[in-house]
Structure 1
Amino acid sequence: MAYVSQGFKLLVGSLSGVGMTNLWLLDSTDAIATVNTSNYVSDGYKKGARQGDIVLVRTRTSTMTGAVTAVHICWVIDEATGTDTLGVDLTDGLAVTATDTD
């Protein structure tokens, strides 16, 4: 499936102004290997994502409201990507381990 712009949302904006980190949420049905390719978030820069911003990536089943199958913590490594310079590139991401021993 392709990137869905509505799945990329600002969770917490910088509280101290310029130069501070924003926190974003990206819901996607694509695997992290697809999500972390350059310009996957093709409108991220346009939406305000900047280098160093943190992005929580929730991989979901076949629908955007489906069950969460993986969570990764990424950050914006490159901004103004794509021929239109409106996208961003995310790091490979750190997988959040899913354990539930009860």
Structure 2
Amino acid sequence: MSEKENQVLNENILELTDDEGNKVQFEHLLTFEYGENFYVSLLPVTPLEDFEDGEVLIMRLEEDGDDDIFLPVETEEELEGAWNAFLELYNDEDEEEDGE
């Protein structure tokens, strides 16, 4: 999915518009750095045809002036590295919350 624009609906919910003009809501899970880029992990709020239940979307985050732009991850290698970084950080956050 390649996103063109986004809108924050509340603290954790983003509404993204894809290249075909469809608006889709995602829960923002985590923004993180991997390598030289920043990434965002998103969980669909409602089931999507191309996503399995609980499947997470990872996109590269870039700035265009004051706007954040979500771009698809271009290579399998980049996606695997970003996914592993996400899992490590997300699991660390869960452990911290459980310990409080």
Whether TM exceeds 0.5 here: the answer is no
TM-score by length of 2: 0.32
Structure with the largest fraction of strand: 2
Structure with the largest fraction of helix: 2
